[in-house]
Chain A
Amino acid sequence: GAGVSQSPRYKVAKRGQDVALRCDPISGHVSLFWYQQALGQGPEFLTYFQNEAQLDKSGLPSDRFFAERPEGSVSTLKIQRTQQEDSAVYLCASSSDRLRGEQYFGPGTRLTVT
């Protein structure tokens, strides 16, 4: 079956622009996670959804970051007024069991802010 897909794969934004990153989870997976991975680092948690409910957004670095999953499937991570420090790979993962299930990751969106 299809895995987690993300689009775009690459995004170049000028500082100050808004960007929207899309994640299509595996069909039927109720849990969806966003992570940020800086170059040479491990992924860091941003936010988590259970169906359409955003249950944890403790990892979002500032109020410029906003995520939604209005119908409990596709999710969008939006970054307003991008800054150079936002440059990273943004990973989306989905899981069928939020407590014990492994998370399946998408290929990521590489965001470069110039």
Chain B
Amino acid sequence: AQKVTQAQTEISVVEKEDVTLDCVYETRDTTYYLFWYKQPPSGELVFLIRRNSFDEQNEISGRYSWNFQKSTSSFNFTITASQVVDSAVYFCALSRSNQGGKLIFGQGTELSVKP
């Protein structure tokens, strides 16, 4: 079965702190895709990143970075120097290459960045 686990339900940090959101996934497929989405209070899910299972290179985009490790089935997300605008619910998701792209989401991690 495919499953995504985000063990951290809520995280609270003070502005400028670094914060890492954990994501662990389960799949027997060799080809799959991993995603992170941000859901601000407005409710609209915003795409952040896609990774395919053959690309384990870490990625950095501004203050955001992602660490993909197949050996531990993890795809963690780090925000450096957090800002109040980073406050949102963050979802990790998995899709299988043979299932038309439907996303399997984790439960989400609610990040609160306080000034």
Contact = CB atoms under 8 A, between A and B. Distances in A.
A43 interface: yes
B13 interface: no
Contact of A99 (B46, B101, B103): B101
A18 interface: no
Q: Which of A91, A97, A101, A105 has the most CB of B within 10 A?
A: A105
Contact of A55 (B43, B91, B100): B100
A67 interface: no
B101 A107 contact: no
A103 B100 CA distance: 12
Contacts of B52: 100
A1 interface: no
Given A41-B108, A43-B103, A45-B102, A102 B42 contact: no
A48 B105 contact: no
Given A95-B101, A99-B101, A41 B44 contact: no
A48 B44 contact: no
Interface string B100-115: 1111111110000000
Q: Which of B97, B99, B102, B105 has the most CB of A within 10 A?
A: B102
Interface of A: 31, 33, 35, 40-45, 48, 50, 55-56, 59, 89, 91, 93, 95, 97-108
26 contacts: A31-B100, A31-B101, A33-B103, A40-B108, A41-B107, A41-B108, A42-B4, A42-B93, A42-B105, A42-B106, A42-B108, A45-B103, A91-B45, A97-B101, A98-B100, A99-B97, A99-B100, A99-B101, A100-B52, A100-B101, A105-B45, A105-B46, A105-B47, A106-B44, A107-B42, A108-B43
